[in-house]
Amino acid sequence: MTPAQRIHQLREQIAHHNERYYALDTPEISDADYDLLVRELAQLEAEHPELVDSESPTQQVGAGSLNVAFAPVVHRVPMTSLDNAMDAGELAAWGERITRGLAGEPARFVCELKIDGLAMSLRYEQGRFVQAATRGDGSVGEDVTANVATIAVLPKQLSVAGTGVPAVCEVRGEVYLPLAAFERLKAAKQAENVARVAAGRKPEPVPVNPRNAGAGSLRQKDPRITAGRGLAFWSYQLGEVVGGPEFTSHHQTLEYLQALGFPVNPEIRVVDDLAGVIEFCNHWQAHRHDLPYEIDGAVVKVDSLEQREKLGFTSRAPRWAIAFKFPPEERTTILRDIQVSVGRTGRTTPFAVLEPVFVGGSTVGMATLHNQDQVAAKDVRPGDTVVVRKAGDVIPEVVGPVLSLRPQGSQPWVFPRLCPCPLQTELVRPEGEADTRCVEPTCPYQRDQRIIYFASRGAMDIEGLGDSTVQQLSDAGFVTDPGDVYTLTREQLLTLDKWGDLKADNLLAAIEGSKQRPLPKVLTSLGCRGLGPSASEALARAFGTLDAVMQASEADLATTDGVGPTIAASIVRWFAVPANREFVEKLRRAGVEFGRVEVSRLSQNLVGKAIVVTGTLEGYSRESAEAAIKDRGGKSPGSVSAKTFAVVVGADPGASKLTKAADLGIPVLDLAGFQHVLATGELPPAGDEPATGEAATGEAAPG
């Protein structure tokens, strides 16, 4: 097809879709698909200006539109995630929660672009760059110091005019690949593949989006490769700081970061109310593609650090910040079939088998349909042209059908009556539930999913025991439940297709190593409904051994922070099943450790007590002071509340914590008082603790 023919074809297609969209209000393709047509036409017209026509749609206003290669790093200050708002309504609801949390006190907000990159923590000691770590799971990341050191925009030595630098300064931000650098990388890989094919070699994958390309560049084993990729960095937050200045607002910390020599995004704005926040989000939602880097939303934070302490955190995220996600990309494609998967608990989930389509930065061939009711409500059918959305830029889902393109004679899809596994057991939908389940305990699909879950990274983390391997093992009759993985032999593995000595030895070594997993992972691996990593961590700390959890009453489990009555009831029901008890004993016989946690032998005299540490205590680091509290059963949160038992004050304390303690009447302790509490679990006798003003801070007490 000649350029002129393709231009003519594109103009006709765009005119058709303009009519469907603007005149008939029945679009047949997504905005993203429409934009692709317009962009292709504009490119061809730019390459062939002699073919540009004043009637072309392009000339009409409104017509367009934890890697083992890297050592683990424990974050001294966790890198928490953010809750999301997907639309203006959810953003407004967050604003209302802020207002309630501050008892009507007005708040200012800092609005930042949400950079589509890789979160990073940079550590400087005495002003010198010493370490870079990825976010990882928020507590432990990967050491990528050598690679991050190649990013040209980052200072190697800190300096601030007229002042000294902190003894320790952790800077948080986002490593990203600018669009220009991404295009250069993609073009180079494409040219390289042309040469590879010409030489009879297999082409290598071409990077599909800047975020993934940037992450891959950062994880190169050779830092020289990373250096050539053109990575950049925006700083947006401080982590651990020792010996630095005190701040009262977030925007002051951003100014300080800039003074230290770090890049701070120029589009950050401080606004006085939620109306300003919404205006900022709306602007960048409309102009996200005007930037030389990719963004996928905006981040909104309460500016006052004192107000942040009032608002605190949920179990996973700060209440004082939220990520406003821009609407996800949508594409249209053909729905080839609707099938049903069976999970480890018997839950059956319909999913769409799609004509592969590129959406949200990756090629999607399957997408969730959630449950039986959702399929019926959307009325999607095999053969339909459907709109596919990558919700939250992560999970592909089918939004709905394009009815004008539905094939004649199409019939509604009917949820299957029988489980798709070889047993063909009748499926059950319990009254009042949205999910349909297979309740046959010997269902092989459930069995395989339980084993896959057991071996997953969040559970026993058995490398090499993925979906295809589990299916091989179960088909061969070598495993019938997760406990059977510990009885596998080298001889059995070598009978499997495409298995050799090295692969067999590696899997057996990984299985053997999993026996030493800490108790939280063992608890998670059991597959009890509702018992995820956070609750497992809480139970491990509270009870110390798996046997103690098994023997605990529902009431005792429910009083554990992070567990609650629903999970507690689920745990008790799970352990009441004889087959589950036998499974636990199978793990015990295999040598799996049931109590590998840091269980302190110290007196647990601080159980139920929250002690906040602020400032530097002689003889203690911040981490060791918090550990001393937790080793005695207490908690050491980062903020003061009405539930705080005491505030321990060292040198250079946080003024806002002291003010909050004074307002709430919380006892304030010095080093001696802290040591007394550790030894006895009680406050020092009256008169022994320091005052909350001059004696505690070295400053005159306010007013």
Catalytic residues: 114
User: CA distances (Å), 627 to each of 140, 352, 533, 600, 634, in order?
Assistant: 17, 49, 20, 10, 9
CA distances to 99, 101, 191, 320 from 105, rounded to whole Å, are: 7, 9, 59, 14
Cβ-Cβ contacts under 8 Å for 332 (sequence gap 6 or more): 28, 29, 30, 33, 357, 385, 386, 387, 388, 402
Residue 564, phi-psi category: left (phi > 0), alpha (psi -120 to 50), beta (remainder): left
Contact 207, 298 (CB under 8 A): no
Sign of CA dihedral 147, 149, 152, 155: positive
Distance CA 61, CA 63 (A): 6
* Residue type at position 587: L
Q: Residue 338 pairs with which residues in a beta bridge?
A: 352
How is residue 43 written in tokens? 């490119």
- Stated as kind and residue range, the H or E segment containing 235 is strand 232-242
Please report the DSSP string for 316-361 in residue order: SSBTTEEEEEPPPPEEEEEEEEEEEEE-TTSEEEEEEEEEEEEETT
250-to-79, 110, 322, 417, 654 alpha-carbon distances in Å: 16, 7, 14, 57, 14
Helix (H, G, I), strand (E, B) or coil at 166: coil
Would you say 440 and 425 are in contact if contact means Cβ atoms under 8 Å apart?
yes
Strand-strand pairing, 269-271 and 330-342: unpaired
E strands along 66-216, which residues? 72-74, 84-85, 109-115, 118-125, 128-134, 140-142, 168-176
Contact 1, 44 (CB under 8 A): no
Question: 573: Cβ–Cβ under 8 A, 6 or more apart, which residues?
Answer: none
Question: DSSP strand E in 31-101: where?
Answer: 72-74, 84-85
Residues 6+ apart with CB under 8 A from 400: 378, 379, 380, 386, 387
Rounded to whole angstroms, the Cα distance separating 229 from 114 reads 22
First to last CA, the chain: 83
Phi, psi angles (nearest 5°) of residue 196? -65, -45
CB-CB neighbours of 317 under 10 Å: 16
Per-residue burial over 101-122, b if 16 or more Cβ lie within 10 Å, else e, is bbeeeebbbbbbbbbbbbbbbb
Which one, of 247, 253, 281, lies nearest residue 267 by Cα? 281
Q: Residue 288 carries which DSSP code?
A: G
**Residue 417: exposure state from Cβ atoms within 10 A (0-12, 13-18, ≥19):** exposed
Q: Please list the residues that pair with 398 across neighbouring strands.
A: 388
Contacts of 359 (CB under 8 A, 6+ apart): 32, 329, 330, 331, 388, 389, 390, 396
Question: What's phi and psi for 614, nearest 5 deg?
Answer: -135, 140
